[in-house]
C-alpha cells in the first residue's frame, strides 16, 4: 500500500520531529534527526542534542537494537564528511556499518560538505535519495541555511502592535497590548533564537529581562544597541543572572568607566566607530554577530530599531502580534520612508490576538 | 440514527441557505427561508425573494408537491401574525393547511410579532420548537435584528489598510493597497448592505463609483456626508446611472443653487443644521437613515469618517482588509483619542491580504 516515496516522507517526518529536540541547543550547528529502518522496522533513532555532542546519525547507530547492516538511514541533512570539527565525520561510519540506502531531505550547504557527503556514500555503493520533503527540511533549518549560505544571521522582527499599527500609548511609557498567549509565544521564540536584540530606549522604557520564563527553555543572548551607553547599570539585563549573556554594542567614545563597570559585571561590550550621524552601523553589528556564531536573531524593538531593520531590509520575516485594540494616539511601530511590499506567509490566532508572519516579497 | 434535534438542525440549515437567496433584495424585511417536510421527505421549499413579494412560508406551501396536512414546517424566523403590512399573515395559513409542527430558529423581535405568532400556532394545537441553531439565525439576520431592536442600522466599518495601519501614502492621493480578491469582497459587501457611506474627501480624492461591478448584485444607496457641499457635480456618484440612489447629507447653509442642481440630477439631498464645530451630527444622520428604512450601513471612509464612527462607538463590526505592505509615511486610518478594546471575531485570507473582523468588546 505504501510506496517507497510515501515511506521516505514518513520517516523523514520522524527525523524532523527528532531534530527539533535540539532546538535552541545545537547552534551554530543545524537541527538533525536520524532514523534507521531495516525490513520495515525502526531499529534506531537519534538526534543532535547539544552543540559539541555526537551527531544524530551516530546516536541512531548507537541506539540501534540490532545489526544495522543492509538498513536504510533517514536523515534530514546530508551526513558530514569533514574532520575540521569537534566530532568525527559520519559518512565513514555509515559505510563501515554497511548501510545500504541513505534518504536525505536537504543537502548541507556548508562548503566542507555541500554534496561531497553524498558523493562519498554513492562511491561506496550506497544508494542515496535526496530532495524528499525538502521544503519542510528547509523550514526546520532556516536559521542554519541562512547563516551558512549568506554569512549573516536569520533575522526575525517581532512587533506587538494595535490594529492601527501602534506599539505604545506614548513615548517612554510601556503599553501592554498583547495577551498571555502572545507573551508565551514570545518566550518560546526567545528559547530557540540564538539572540534577541533591542535598542537602549526599550531598556529604559520597559526594563525587560529578555529571558525565557513563561515556557521551558534556555535564555538567548541579549543584545542591546546603545550608542551612547545610556542605559542604567541597574537595568534588569545588567543586574539579573546570566549577565555574561548580555552584549552591548556602543560607540568607541562611550564612557570608559561605565564600559569597565559593565565588563566587570560580566557584560560583553563591543565598541564600534560611530557613523557620521552618531549612530552605529547595523551591518557592522551583524558582521560581529556572525563572527560570534549567532545564527538567528529576534529583533524585539522599539520603533527606531524596527525602522532601521525594515528600512535596510535586514530581516527574513516580520512577525506581527496584533492585539484587538485601537490605540488612536500613540507611537507607531516604525517610520520607514518608502512603501515595502511583503508577503503574508502564515496567520494564526493567539488567544485574543492574531499572529501574522510576513516574508520579503 | 438521526435524532429529531439533528434533523431539525439539518432542515434549518437548508432554510438559512434558501433565506440568503434574498440577500440585498428584501430589506427592510428579514431574510427568511422555509422547508416543509412530510414523512421524512422535503415536499416544499421557499424563500422571501424580494421586498413586497410573498413570504417564505407562503412560497414553500405554494411549491409543495403533495398535501401538506400533518407536515412539519421549518423556518428561520417566527411566522408573522400581523396584517399591518403588504402581504397577508402566515400563521393563519399554516393553521388552515393543518401543519402539525413548526420549527423556528429565531423569534421575530418585531413588536407586532415577538412571540405572538408562536402563541397563535400553539393555541391552534400546532407543536412549536424554537431556539434551534439560534446563533446562526442571529448571524444571518444581524442587520434586521439590530435595526428592529435598536432602531438604528447595523453598521460595519470597512478599512483597507497597510500592516502599519495606513490607508494612503499621502493626503488627497489614492493609494491602492489591497488586491483583486479584497476588491471583489468589498463589491460583495456592497451588494448586501442597504447603503454605503463615505465622506466628501473620499469622493474628491478617489472619485469612487461605490457600485457593485466585480460581482453580481444590486447597487447600494450611496451616502455622502458633505457638510459644505464641496464635491464636484462631475463626481462619478453624481454623474453615473442610478443617481436616485445617491443621497447627500449637507448643512442647511449649503449653496442653494448646487442643492437644486443636484436634486434635478436625481440626487436626494438632506439638509441638516450644523453643529457648533460646523460638522453634521452622525446621530441625526443615522436617525434619518433609520426612518428611510436603511437597516445596514457599510462605512467606507476616509480617515475622518472612520475616526468619528469609531470614537462614538457607532459600529457593530470593524472589517480590516490588511494588505501585505508597510507604507511608512502616510495617512493613518483614523485618529481616535482613547484606546478602544475590540474583539477579534474572525479571520480569513483574501488572496495576498487578510481580512480581520472585529466586534465591540
Selection from B23, B78, B322 nearest residue A347 by Cα: B322
In angstroms, the CA A272 to CA A252 distance is 5
> Which residues in chain A have their CB less than 8 angstroms from residue B326's CB?
310, 334, 336, 339-340, 342
Tell if the CB–CB gap between B318 and A163 is shorter than 8 Å.
Answer: yes
At B110 the pLDDT is: 92
Segment A84-109, tens digit of pLDDT? 777 888 999 999 999 999 999 999 99
Q: Which helix or strand (DSSP H or E) is residue B332 part of?
A: strand B331-332
In angstroms, the CA B251 to CA A154 distance is 58
Tell if the CB–CB gap between B322 and A164 is shorter than 8 Å.
Answer: no
Mutation for A interface: B158, B161, B163, B346, most A CBs within 10 A = B163
Listed by number, the residues of chain A in 251-310 with a beta carbon closer than 8 Å to a beta carbon of chain B are: 310
Tens of pLDDT, residue by residue, chain B (361 residues)? 469 999 999 999 999 999 999 999 999 999 999 999 999 999 999 999 999 999 999 999 999 989 999 999 999 999 988 877 778 889 999 999 999 999 999 999 999 899 999 999 999 999 999 999 999 999 999 999 999 999 999 999 999 999 999 999 888 778 889 999 999 999 999 999 999 999 999 999 999 999 999 999 999 999 999 999 999 999 999 987 677 799 999 999 999 999 999 999 899 999 999 988 778 999 999 999 999 999 999 999 899 999 999 999 999 999 999 999 999 888 888 888 888 999 999 999 999 999 999 999 8
pTM: 0.92
Bridge partners of A298, per DSSP, are: A156, A196
At B245 the pLDDT is: 92
Peptide bond into B302 cis (omega under 30): yes
Distance of CA B264 to the CA centre of its chain: 29
At B2 the pLDDT is: 67
Residue A152: count of CB within 10 angstroms of its CB? 18
Distance of CA B38 to the CA centre of its chain: 34
- B356 close to A (CB below 8 A): yes
Give the active site residue among A45, A57, A300, A317.
A57
Nearest to A324 among B164, B310, B358 (CB): B358
Tell if the CB–CB gap between A164 and B344 is shorter than 8 Å.
Answer: no
Q: Which residues of chain A have pLDDT under 70?
A: 1-2, 241
- B333 close to A (CB below 8 A): yes
In angstroms, the CA B137 to CA B76 distance is 6
At A133 the pLDDT is: 97
How many H-runs (helices) and E-runs (strands) does chain B carry?
12, 17
Amino acid at each position: 500500500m505504501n510506496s517507497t516515496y510515501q515511506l521516505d516522507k514518513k520517516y523523514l517526518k520522524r527525523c524532523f520531529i527528532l531534530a527539533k529536540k535540539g532546538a535552541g541547543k545545537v547552534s551554530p550547528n543545524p537541527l538533525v534527526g536520524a532514523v534507521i529502518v531495516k525490513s520495515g522496522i525502526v531499529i534506531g533513532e537519534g538526534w543532535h542534542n547539544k552543540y559539541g555532542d555526537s551527531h544524530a546519525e551516530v546516536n541512531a547507530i548507537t541506539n540501534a537494537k540490532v545489526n544495522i547492516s543492509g538498513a536504510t538511514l533517514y536523515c534530514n541533512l546530508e551526513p558530514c564528511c569533514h574532520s575540521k570539527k569537534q566530532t568525527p565525520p559520519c559518512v565513514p561510519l555509515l559505510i563501515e556499518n554497511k548501510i545500504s540506502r541513505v534518504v536525505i531531505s536537504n543537502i548541507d550547504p556548508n562548503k566542507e560538505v555541500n554534496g561531497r557527503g553524498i558523493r562519498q556514500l554513492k562511491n561506496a555503493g550506497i544508494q542515496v535519495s535526496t530532495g524528499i520533503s525538502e521544503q519542510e527540511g528547509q523550514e526546520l533549518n532556516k536559521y542554519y541555511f541562512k547563516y551558512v549560505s549568506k554569512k549573516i544571521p536569520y533575522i526575525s522582527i517581532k512587533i506587538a502592535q494595535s490594529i492601527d499599527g501602534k506599539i505604545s500609548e506614548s513615548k517612554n511609557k510601556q503599553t501592554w497590548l498583547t495577551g498571555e498567549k502572545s507573551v508565551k509565544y514570545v518566550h518560546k521564540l526567545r528559547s530557540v533564537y540564538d539572540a534577541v536584540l533591542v535598542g537602549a530606549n526599550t531598556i529604559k522604557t520597559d526594563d525587560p529581562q529578555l529571558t525565557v520564563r513563561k515556557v521551558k527553555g534556555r535564555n538567548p543572548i541579549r543584545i542591546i544597541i546603545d550608542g551612547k551607553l545610556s542605559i542604567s547599570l541597574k537595568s534588569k539585563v545588567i543586574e539579573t543572572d546570566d549577565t555574561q549573556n548580555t552584549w552591548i554594542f556602543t560607540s568607541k567614545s562611550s564612557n570608559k568607566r561605565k564600559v569597565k563597570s559593565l565588563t566587570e559585571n560580566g557584560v560583553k561590550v563591543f565598541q564600534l566607530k560611530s557613523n557620521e550621524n552618531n549612530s552605529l552601523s547595523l551591518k557592522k553589528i551583524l558582521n560581529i554577530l556572525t563572527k560570534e556564531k549567532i545564527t538567528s536573531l529576534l529583533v524585539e524593538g522599539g520603533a527606531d530599531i524596527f525602522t532601521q531593520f525594515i528600512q535596510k531590509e535586514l530581516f527574513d520575516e516580520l512577525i506581527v502580534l496584533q492585539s484587538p485594540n485601537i490605540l488612536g494616539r500613540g507611537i507607531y511601530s516604525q517610520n520607514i520612508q518608502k512603501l515595502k511590499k511583503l508577503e503574508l506567509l502564515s496567520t494564526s490566532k493567539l488567544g485574543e490576538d492574531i499572529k501574522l508572519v510576513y516574508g520579503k516579497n
